[in-house]
Amino acid sequence: MLLVALEITDNEILELVHSALGRMTVIRQIFPLSRDNNQRCMRNNHRISSLLCDPQEGYLQMLQVSNLYLYDSVLMLANAFHRKLEDRKWHSMASLNCMRKSTKPWNGGRSMLETIKKGHITGLTGVMEFREDGANPYVQFEILGTSYSETFGKDVRRLATWDSEKGLNGSLQERRLGNDLQGVTLKVVTVLEEPFVMVAENILGQPKRYKGFSIDVLDALAKNLGFKYEIYQAPDGKYGHQLQNSSWNGMIGELINKVRKEEAAFKNITGE
């Protein structure tokens, strides 16, 4: 699942990661200069309540990204008006009524738009200016992806960052497992379930052979990653569920018992 969002917090991302069944990639905008927001707010604050900029109140930290952009947009517009007045290029205008079709457009509109495009401010979202194509070259994004570990379970980590000048900084490709599995023989436990796993025609004296969709996928993985495998059926033919004594049967029980046997063997070897 790919999620592109501006209004998403770290806690919301973790909730999505833990509830998602598969892998998830999140792309969101980042603001490297956010630590100085209070100082910039006070510097640019003209007639806005000082409570907004007071770090003790904490209002600035609670603002959504859309609010930060709204603040910077008004600041950019005010900057354009100031430059127009300073350069004495202001076009006076009569009041406009958008509901009347007969209302004449403002003659200074295009000139004001060009002034805005040439503007440059440092606001709450960072540096804001516009290229010829109308994009802000200082916008930065981070790309987050889900990861899994035996210790911490499902988690999210930063895969890369992106900006218009440096491009992608990082890698979106996961570490390949080919070198780790090359030449390894894996033991695979399964249950019969058409059309995924079925018994094929067996040759006398040869190990039991299987066919099906899951077997085709397993063969393709073995070929690409260079490993071999031995397959066998769960003794009770079940997927597995927890019993009253807290043990598991079926395929899950086979996997759990295998791990416990390996742990016991490791402890015997190391003496721990």
Residue 117 has pLDDT above 70, yes or no: yes
Tens-digit pLDDT profile for residues 52-95: 666 676 666 677 778 888 888 888 888 888 888 887 767 666 66
Tens-digit pLDDT profile for residues 225-248: 888 998 888 889 888 888 888 888
Name the residue with higher pLDDT: 48 or 120.
Answer: 120
Tens-digit pLDDT profile for residues 167-206: 888 876 655 444 567 888 888 888 888 878 888 877 676 7
Residue 149 has pLDDT above 60, yes or no: no
Burial code (b: 16+ CB inside 10 Å, e: under 16) for 56-75 equals: eeeebeeeebeebbebbeeb
pTM attached to this predicted model:
0.51
Mean pLDDT of 248-258: 82
pLDDT at 170: 80
Question: Is the four-CA dihedral 87, 91, 92, 95 of positive or negative sign?
Answer: negative
Name the residue with higher pLDDT: 26 or 233.
Answer: 233
Residue 137 has pLDDT above 80, yes or no: yes
- Residue 7 CA to residue 63 CA, distance in Å, equals 10
Question: Mind listing the domains of the chain with CATH numbers?
Answer: 2-141 (3.40.50.2300), 178-270 (3.40.190.10)
Estimate the share of the chain in helix, then strand, then coil, as percent rounded to the nearest 5.
35, 25, 40
- Residue 6 CA to residue 13 CA, distance in Å, equals 12
Residue 166 has pLDDT above 60, yes or no: yes
Average pLDDT, the chain: 74
pLDDT at 153: 54
Residue 40 has pLDDT above 70, yes or no: no
